[in-house]
Amino acid sequence: MRLLLVEDDKALGRLLKKGLEEEGFFVDWVSNGLTAQQYVEENSYEVIILDLMLPKQDGLSLLESLRKQGINTPVLILTAKGSVEDKVKGLNAGADDYLAKPFAFEELVARIRALIRRQHGIAQGIISFGDVSVDIVKQRVEFKGQELELTGMELKLLMLLALNSNKVLSKTYIAQKLYGWEYAPDSNVIEVLISRLRKKIDPQGRYIKTVKGLGYILKI
């Protein structure tokens, strides 16, 4: 799951990026509004974490611009401007949540995951199919009632497929979400990762399907 962090405080930005990556997220970190606008237009994110007091383009005007463009990625405002008036302005501009500094990192992570669940219409954060149960909140997987050990990338791939179940995901889309780079046609990294995941949770090929020429789909 890929996040965009827009924060001009370098010390805080480094800490948040490190902490969120340890929680299993991929994080792009930028420090001004103009660069953030470019990143959002060129990439796909699950959540944008946005400071309001930014150089070049402030967070509120950036948020308004994104919404006018029809970009509906969930936005969590993270700022020292914590008055009721500031919160109302942010929410009216199109923010989905608002967290004032200082804050507990655990609360930030919980709010991010809640936004992801809401975006995908998952109330309890658990997606089940066959013998597999995927807990989006705790980022753990059970197979036949037992916790299943997956590599970090296998887990991220399963989360991506589960959050987009019954939708065909192209190799390019998967690569961008998992690695943050464009998929090279001659690369088989996605095929190998899919194969490894199938062996662990879907050896009969009932759920993870290949759609020839298009990509992959988790049918549940």
Predicted confidence (pLDDT) per residue in 110-162, tens digit? 999 888 878 776 656 688 888 898 887 778 899 888 999 999 899 989 988 98
Q: Residue 25: its pLDDT value, please?
A: 86
Instruction: Name the residue range of residue 194's domain.
Output: 127-218
> In CATH, what number is assigned to the domain containing residue 31?
3.40.50.2300
* Final residue belonging to a domain, choices 101, 120, 139: 120
> In CATH, what number is assigned to the domain containing residue 200?
1.10.10.10
Q: Against a cut of 0.75, is the pTM above it? A: no
Q: How far apart are CA 152 and CA 18, in angstroms?
A: 15
Q: How far apart are CA 88 and CA 98, in angstroms?
A: 9
Q: Same domain, yes or no, for 84 and 138?
A: no
* Final residue belonging to a domain, choices 85, 120, 155: 120
DSSP structure class, residue 186 = T
Q: Residue 85: its pLDDT value, please?
A: 85
Q: Same domain, yes or no, for 74 and 155?
A: no
Q: Same domain, yes or no, for 46 and 105?
A: yes
Window from 63-67, 93-97, 176-180 with minimum mean pLDDT: 176-180
Q: Quick check: 136 and 129 in contact, CB under 8 A?
A: no
Helix, strand or coil, per DSSP, at residue 34: helix
Q: Same domain, yes or no, for 79 and 153?
A: no
